[in-house]
Amino acid sequence: MKAWMLAACAVTGLLASASAAAQFKNAQDAIDYRQAALTVMGNHFGRIGLMVNNKVPFDAHAVQVNADLVATLAKLPWAGFIDGSDKGDTAAKPEIWSQPDKFRNAALKMQDAVGKLNDAAKTGNQDAIKTAFGAAAESCKNCHDEFKRKH
């Protein structure tokens, strides 16, 4: 990628985050948004899980479609963790806001893991998909263990 492209992406990223809070009516709206994003992402991740765990027949094309969706959807939830949205109908722990670097790192790890799952999906190699799926699931679990309250 050319340097100017990276710069353009960085600026777009900054604008996306700068406008995030203004995009929500209130804290609950932001909570609803991030939960919706995580629900849809989990649904498509789960479809791959069914194949990886031999609950439904392996279909390389279905893995590709779902892994590509997951990689895109994984970018979404973070804009919903706005200041003040620790209060409301949420399982988000206060550590998300008191340890933002740690939370950001966990979020980036997940995005890296689902990016690798998407790479593996493109090869169609079942073993590579299985390994990458396991690592991605682990990144979900790690973040939930640290930052999501158990009901």
* 141 vs 149 by CB, closer to ligand ASC: 141
* 42 vs 115 by CB, closer to ligand ASC: 42
Q: How far is the CB of 100 from ligand ASC (least distance, A)?
A: 21
Q: How far is the CB of 136 from ligand ASC (least distance, A)?
A: 8
Q: How far is the CB of 137 from ligand ASC (least distance, A)?
A: 4
Q: How far is the CB of 135 from ligand ASC (least distance, A)?
A: 11
Q: Amino acid identity of 106?
A: A
* 40 vs 60 by CB, closer to ligand ASC: 40
Q: Are 106 and 147 in contact (CB under 8 A)?
A: yes
d(CA 97, CA 87): 11
Structure-token match 């995005």, residue found: 111
* 21 vs 95 by CB, closer to ligand ASC: 95
Residue span 125-144 as binding mask against ligand ASC, x where in contact by CB under 6 A, dash where not: ------------x--xx---
Q: How far is the CB of 142 from ligand ASC (least distance, A)?
A: 9
Structure-token match 């895109």, residue found: 72
Considering only residues 38-67, where is the footprint of ligand ASC by CB under 6 A? 42, 45-46, 49
C-alpha distances (whole Å) from 42 to each of 67, 87, 88, 98, 123 are 11, 23, 22, 26, 22
Q: Are 118 and 73 in contact (CB under 8 A)?
A: no
Q: 92: helix, coil or strand?
A: strand
C-alpha distances (whole Å) from 119 to each of 77, 97, 113, 114, 122 are 21, 32, 10, 9, 5
Which residues contribute to the site for ligand ASC (CB under 6 A)? Answer: 42, 45-46, 49, 137, 140-141
